[in-house]
Structure 1
Amino acid sequence: MEQRQALGAVLTKGGTAIVGPVGVGKTALLCAVAGRLDAARFDVVWTVATRASRQVPFGAFHGLLGGARDRLDETRAYGALHTELARRSGRRTPVLVIDDVHHLDDRCAALALGLAAEGRAKLMVAARGEPGAAMSDAVVALWKDGYLERLDVAQLGLAGTARLLHALVEGEVARGTVDLLHRWTGGNPLLLTQLVRHARASGRLGADGGLWWWRGPRTVPPGLAEVFDHELDGLTSGEQDALAAIALGEPLALPSVEAVACDAVEALEERGLVRTTDGGGGQILVRLASPLLAAAVHRKLPRLRRRRIAAALLAADTCPAPDPVVRARWQLEADGPVDTALLIRAAEAARGHDPELACRLARRALPGSSAAAVVLARALVESGDGAQARQVLERAGAEAATVSARLRAGIALAAHVCWVERDPAAAAADLAALGSRASSPAARGAVEGVRALVLLGGGRTSAALEAAERVLRTTVRGPGVAPARLARSVGLVLSGRTRNAVALAEATAADVDSPGELRELALALGCYAQVWGGGAGPALGEAGGGGADPVPGQGRDGAAAPGSGRLGVGGASPFLGVPSASHPASAFLDGLRYWALGDQQEAVARLREAVLRHSGGTRLLRTEATCRLAVCLAEAGRGEDAERALAACPPDAVGLVPGQEQWARAAVAAARGDVPAATAGLRAAAGTARREGCWAVAAECLTYAAWLAPAGPPTDLLDQLALAAGHIDAPRLLAGARAAFALARGSGTELLEHAVRLDGLGMRAPAWRLAERAVVVLRAHGRRHGDAVVLATRLRGGQGASAPPVRLDVLTARELEIASLAAAGLADRAISDRLDVSVRTVESHLARVYRKLGVRSRRDLPSVLRA
């Protein structure tokens, strides 16, 4: 589009001025437009203005004015320039291209303006349009006075960044990596291209499981380092100190910066190196203009200056106080006395997105602190060193000087056995033994609260609820209350009592911030409550924002800490934080929600990423992500891919949802066309869930089985579904179950009503199938079916090839017969001969089949009929 606009300005007007920040592709756009000009009509002449050329008389036009330029005044120089362009172009129209036109001195700018005003030559110029890019009034007049058409070239958005990354690596890039690199580069194509090329060569950007991921901290490629070094040239000592202070703690309150270097921020802002924003409460926050600039400043920061500035920042009386992680880093840099409690709190906050920093903080706080040992172990797990993490915990328990320290280390070790070593049964036994030795109610409550979570992770929902309720009955305060409340919340969601679960989670949301497993368990609760409860919540894929931008460490994807967005569920008030796009749970959350809306293609992409993200660390949702990915692949008719997904990352003993592996394998059987085996597997999955009191899971499995039944759901399955539905209050689950009963009854009007209800809840795929069935039934009974046709047509347009398994009973017997023959490869004439009908009859039947099944041609029939 930009090329067409610029080319049109050259052909029909005086030319174009391409304006934008460094690196957005202004020069490339000039080249592309110049390359599209007809050489028989236009003669293109290039020149580049530089800072050095400003110091030489008519320096930018050296090649056009020759060696006598230093003896020319403006009038003779203009004549010489015009004569040279005319000589070169002959009968063609001269096109003067000036790159970096903002560097023109006043005399060259006046010449360019004269050419544009006279109109004998076309001009194409590129100018830097951002703070700190001062330019001559004559240059601005080129577009301000209408001689040239101005074309502003902006940075890439998130979607544009994703497309460029895909082209650069020739593959799919993890969404968290896309978000990360977009945030670092601001969508600047030059910065992005240089960063990706350097990262691929250095191994910071690599492929894993079919996706490209960023690994390690922020880095500055050598080519970009030269650019940033050039920007930093000429700074005073005070400005260098101010820039270093901001790099060590951005966003930084203005008084903190001024405590290090007074009156330097204004000069830095004028040069475009920093920007200021309103921090609320009358505070002004200062940030660097680019996140990569922070890495460039860090690279050039001497150790002694870093130490001096960190000490000055600690001494400054800042209000509000900086983020705990930032202040803890200052303490490390200053190499002085430290606040152990602050370091532990900062290490826990940083371990998810920067485990290397978390390890440094925890080790500094470690001597004599069992709390620091626990956080260090968790950070080591995030770094991929589970064996060393276990050694740290065992050593902490052996060296503990107090009963409480031994208890803390023992609880952490049991949690490690569950989430990291994937043995919830052994962990539960260890905690039971630990609780039997506890000497106080508070200690027993602390053990039992974590045991409730461990039981939940082992799929023992009923036992987890009992343990959690014992803690909540006997303990009002203490470390066991938060995990007990959360275990009870997740148990309530799985049992289908989403309203009670949401109310309990709202009451305890503030307690979910510190212990490692609680945050992701809370997010898992949000995932299922969102899908089953039917709340609107934020837009799909929306990431929570807010907070400082941490410098990523060794964690996969350089993941930022969970954002502060909110998630609505079932019409209740918001209750849990939505993870940022780079949080391990965010991909699972998005995949589950896309699946609920029937968008298999996007659900598969997000769940595949979720499986990879849960290949390290605590891997809490690993089994859930794998099983749901297999279900989505199977529903999309990709049964072999689903089997490979289960084989590549087999479900293990840790899983919140009972029966989910049975469901996944049943979905694979359905994809193979083995409906009896699929139905049996779903019944078994429902039975597993029902034994643990997980009525929501049972209802979901039985509803799924009801949709698979070719002749309608059998009576005994409907009886089981009615029993499960009687225990739940989740709107989406209830709507799906009631739709299954409507299928069995076969009333066209009722089917249409349920289709409308499902559509209103965002369940487009089952709504489409109900609407299609309603059309068939109403038409067969001679009833009005226009509304059903309109709804089915609208919903079919949103399904495409990613629609879930198709109910073949939307087809008549003759339509199914013809569709099967067409899927087997028979031509229309061969089908007409076999069935003794006309070719036109075959064609009309196939047209109705395509419409009902939502496909475009006979090539799509085999996969749809298999599904």
Structure 2
Amino acid sequence: MRHDMGPERCVARDAEQQQALGAVLTKGGTAIVGPLGVGKTALLCAVASRLDAARFDVVWTVATRASRQVPFGAFHGLLGGARERLDEGLAYGALRTELARRSGPRTPVLVVDDVHHLDDRCAALALGLAAEGRARLLVAARSEPAAAVSDAVVALWKDGYVQRLDVAPLGLAGTARLLHVLVDGEVARGTVDLLHRWTGGNPLLLTQLVRHARASGRLAAERGLWWWRGPRTVPPGLAEVFDHELDGLTSAEQDALAAIALGEPLALAAVEAVACDAVEALEERGLVRTADGGGQILVRLGRPLLAAAVHRRLPRLRRRRVAAALLAADDCPAPDPVVRARWQLEADGPVDAALLIRAAEATRGHDPELSCRFARRALRESSAAAVVLARALVESGDGAQARHVLERARVDAPTEAARLRAEVALAGHVCWVERDPAGAAADLTALGARTTSPAARSAVDGVRALVLLGGGRTSAAVEVAEQVLRTTVRGPGVAPARLALSVGHALSGRTRDAVALAEQTAADGNTPCEVGELARIAGCFARVWGGGAGPESGPASGGGTDPDLDQVWGGGAGAALGAPPGSHPASAFLDGLRLWALGDHQEAVVRLREAVLRHSGGTRLLRTEASCRLVGCLAEAGRPDDAERALAAGPPDAVGFVPGHERWARAAVAAARGEVTAATAGLTAAADIARREGCWAVAAEYLTCAAWLAPAGPPAGLVDQLARAAGHIDAPRLLAGAQAALALARGSGTELLEHAVRLDGLGMRAPAWRLAEKAVAALRAHGHRHGDAVILVNRLRDHQGAVAPALRPDALTARELEIASLAASGLADRAISSRLDVSVRTVESHLARVYRKLGVRSRRDLPSALRA
């Protein structure tokens, strides 16, 4: 048996193992068919290892290209040294005899790996064994072999001698499971998405890539979470596999492959402008694939990671010549700006500085090294690239060099406008990178005072509004933003002012206004790329509280981002310019916030931990918010020790958009420890901070949390504050939570139940469950309403995966428990009445009370209710 396949290669293949094993046990065997590296050999090993050694004798052989050149080469170990003198008939007899000798009374199982490499004579022997039923066959074959397959091999499954099992690459969930096994730890969701996209879910590529990345430091653990750093690479082992496939290409085919690797997907016309009539041969070899798109034929590489392998083999002069040819193909449809910018760098000729700046902005978040390359080259042509270069340097972790670039740009600025641009960017650097929003606001105020042009002053004030917002001074930020928008119709200050006002609206609870203004900002063609991305963050944030993500949207347990948020995010400039989906650092935070709002604390913790890591470098825009939300989520999940460790590892700093966030996080930890008085004081203090800044939505959230802490319901003063805050907000989720907390003070069971149903409808199942439990206690003597409340509690508890509490000793009387047990066992009412010598009416009345107490509808629900 082969021993070089680790067990991790069969992760997420349980169903395929069962199907293949069943075919071997009950039929003539199975043929596992799939592309290179999908895990066929690992499946062979797994299935063979599960065969009972007392019943089956497993015999292994491997077919190779080289064995095709040797007579009966694949069966060398079974035919011995006399194979050169054997013809097909004698060889078949010798093979059958050897298998019988080895297996004795057991059934022989012939395992042939890479069966597509069998020559015609060996294939005929295997087909003969299958046709006679002398042995079970367990074989693996490539679905897209490079060479023709013997018709005898195809006949194995075509004529039904063995069952064909097609194995596809892993899905996203399977990729996550395999990564978990490979690193023996939790992998960041963004890294799972990235590696799945790079490898196409191919287990061989994934395994080799992860092992190489761990050894080289590309994949490393930080704070218990594995994280990919830097661009993709091709491990030496995979490079050898790809090199074998790329050998023997003509010069034209190599040029065509280089062109596609430099810009896939590429229009067929563009490829043919570089190398005419080469694509067809590459497609026949499986190296490229074509598809219709936008009224033209698009060409892509046919293997995951093949682009990286082609880049690795591509000589500089060929790369330069092919890129120049692609740029010269003016009659071909232009690719996206990032690809065209790459061509300009590779061609080493004249460049379009504006194009390179756009490409640098688009790649800054997910590939800062490439962004720096674009920006450095553009800086040789335009001083405007200095700001973009500084941002790329920040994302790559070199904040000091970024500041030097901005200071140099301020000194060397050729015009007053260029100097102003550098000074504004430098103030932004002080705020977001050096974490000093107060200093940045002071610098911008002084700069605005020195500026005489109204348009220039508007540009300064637009950025100042954002800086004030980042320092937690929401009311001042809104005032400055409104002043800019009152006095300026167009210009560089409009977009940041709109963005600041959108965030201010979201924090104040005006979610509809916030979303509308954010969408207007993002859709404006004059909005800079970075501001457009931030506008989408503001819109998504408002949509979370506004109920834009339904209760069933997004991942239940497999991860990924919410479809509603994806819809907002998908039209972004980053996506349009080649940024991978979910690559923006805010995506993990927004998804974690959504999951937390829906009560899915386990998944929310995963995403928020990733968000904290993603905001540990670069501009760290939402670092404080991500850290505080993670702490609060851990605390609400009943993990105060973990929450305190998270707070110590990533304490909030001076930059924070949500006023009072740190106090809220610390109060959540106190509440998780049962320190109700301290928690309530912390939450009300945080609400006061938010209220002073006009952030009514934030204040309502804090006060709602405080209202839940009071065992006998919130006190009158807290109720008045919460009612006042609720009167300012239109966010459905926040408003529903606040109104439910106000209902706690009134204590009406019917009202509590109605609010629980409303929260459940909004997807807020955790607070709905808690409210429904209080409704149960308040409705004990209210007949069917009590039953409705119990049913809702049971359903929400099951959804949350919680264990039902034990029944109170007096929940059911002895007679009720006896009758309920008999009914649960399947006895009808008349049979129960006969056994207990009571009337049928008595049985029915007892069961009615049992149903009401247990919160079930019929006897079908009794077994699970009684077990609980």
Deviation at 1:813, TM superposition (A): 14
- Rounded to whole Å, the distance in 1 between the matches of 2:778 and 2:481 is 50
Equivalent residues of 2:521, 2:527 under 8 A apart: no
Q: Pairwise mapping of residues 122-521 of structure 1 onto structure 2 (< 5 A)?
A: 122-130=136-144, 132=146, 134-280=148-294, 282-317=295-330, 319-367=332-380, 369-511=382-524, 515=528, 518-519=531-532, 521=534
1:523–1:668 Cα change, 3 Å: farther
1:788–1:849 Cα change, 3 Å: closer
Counterpart of 1:37? 51
- Rounded to whole Å, the distance in 2 between the matches of 1:225 and 1:676 is 63
Counterpart of 2:814? none
Higher alpha-carbon deviation: 475-484 or 60-69: 60-69
1:781–1:811 Cα change, 3 Å: farther
Per-residue displacement from partner, 1:683-726 (whole Å, max 9, x unpaired)?
Answer: 11111111111111111111111111111011111111111111
Per-residue displacement from partner, 1:750-799 (whole Å, max 9, x unpaired)?
Answer: 11111111111111011111111111111145664111111111001122
- Rounded to whole Å, the distance in 1 between the matches of 2:573 and 2:262 is 34
Deviation at 1:492, TM superposition (A): 0.6
Partner SS state of residue 711, structure 1? coil
Counterpart of 2:681? 680
Counterpart of 2:864? none
Q: Which runs of 5+ in 2 are unaligned?
A: 1-14, 812-852, 857-868
Deviation at 1:514, TM superposition (A): 6.6
- Rounded to whole Å, the distance in 1 between the matches of 2:38 and 2:598 is 37
Counterpart of 1:620? 621
In the alignment, does 2:782 pair up with 1:776? no
- Rounded to whole Å, the distance in 1 between the matches of 2:111 and 2:485 is 76
In the alignment, does 2:558 pair up with 1:539? no
1:300–1:784 Cα change, 3 Å: closer
Counterpart of 1:669? 670
- Rounded to whole Å, the distance in 1 between the matches of 2:769 and 2:122 is 67
Equivalent residues of 1:384, 1:617 under 8 A apart: yes
Give the letter for the 1:100 counterpart.
D
1:519–1:801 Cα change, 3 Å: farther
Q: Which runs of 5+ in 1 are unaligned?
A: 546-561, 816-847, 852-867
Deviation at 1:644, TM superposition (A): 1.9
2:568 to 558, 566, 569: 566
In the alignment, does 2:596 pair up with 1:581? no
- Rounded to whole Å, the distance in 2 between the matches of 1:543 and 1:205 is 22
Give the letter for the 1:362 counterpart.
A
Deviation at 1:109, TM superposition (A): 1.4
Partner SS state of residue 151, structure 1? strand
Counterpart of 1:829? none
Equivalent residues of 2:393, 2:402 under 8 A apart: yes
Partner SS state of residue 291, structure 2? strand
Counterpart of 2:733? 732
Deviation at 1:515, TM superposition (A): 4.5
- Rounded to whole Å, the distance in 2 between the matches of 1:379 and 1:8 is 56
The number of residue pairs the alignment matches comes to 793
Give the letter for the 1:539 counterpart.
G
Equivalent residues of 1:522, 1:576 under 8 A apart: no
1:87 to 85, 88, 101: 101
Higher alpha-carbon deviation: 104-113 or 235-244: 104-113
Deviation at 1:360, TM superposition (A): 1.3
- Rounded to whole Å, the distance in 1 between the matches of 2:56 and 2:414 is 86
Deviation at 1:544, TM superposition (A): 9.0
Per-residue displacement from partner, 1:483-505 (whole Å, max 9, x unpaired)?
Answer: 11111111011111111111212
Higher alpha-carbon deviation: 165-174 or 780-789: 780-789
Equivalent residues of 2:68, 2:117 under 8 A apart: yes
In the alignment, does 2:762 pair up with 1:761? yes
Give the letter for the 1:641 counterpart.
D
1:294–1:518 Cα change, 3 Å: same
Give the letter for the 1:218 counterpart.
R
Q: Pairwise mapping of residues 667-816 of structure 1 onto structure 2 (< 5 A)?
A: 667-780=668-781, 784-800=785-801
Give the letter for the 2:307 counterpart.
A
Equivalent residues of 1:349, 1:514 under 8 A apart: no
Output the aligned Cα RMSD.
Answer: 2.7
Q: State TM-score, norm by structure 1.
A: 0.87
Q: Pairwise mapping of residues 808-827 of structure 1 onto structure 2 (< 5 A)?
A: none
Equivalent residues of 1:351, 1:358 under 8 A apart: yes
Higher alpha-carbon deviation: 26-35 or 142-151: 26-35
Give the letter for the 2:134 counterpart.
R
1:453–1:784 Cα change, 3 Å: closer
Equivalent residues of 2:518, 2:536 under 8 A apart: no
Per-residue displacement from partner, 1:140-159 (whole Å, max 9, x unpaired)?
Answer: 11011111011222211111
- Rounded to whole Å, the distance in 2 between the matches of 1:156 and 1:407 is 52
Equivalent residues of 1:778, 1:784 under 8 A apart: yes
Deviation at 1:133, TM superposition (A): 5.8
- Rounded to whole Å, the distance in 1 between the matches of 2:26 and 2:211 is 39
- Rounded to whole Å, the distance in 2 between the matches of 1:21 and 1:699 is 55
Per-residue displacement from partner, 1:263-284 (whole Å, max 9, x unpaired)?
Answer: 111111111111122221x111
Partner SS state of residue 186, structure 2? coil
Higher RCO (CA < 8 A, seq sep 6+): 1
Deviation at 1:563, TM superposition (A): 10
Partner SS state of residue 94, structure 1? strand
Equivalent residues of 1:663, 1:685 under 8 A apart: yes
- Rounded to whole Å, the distance in 1 between the matches of 2:411 and 2:808 is 73
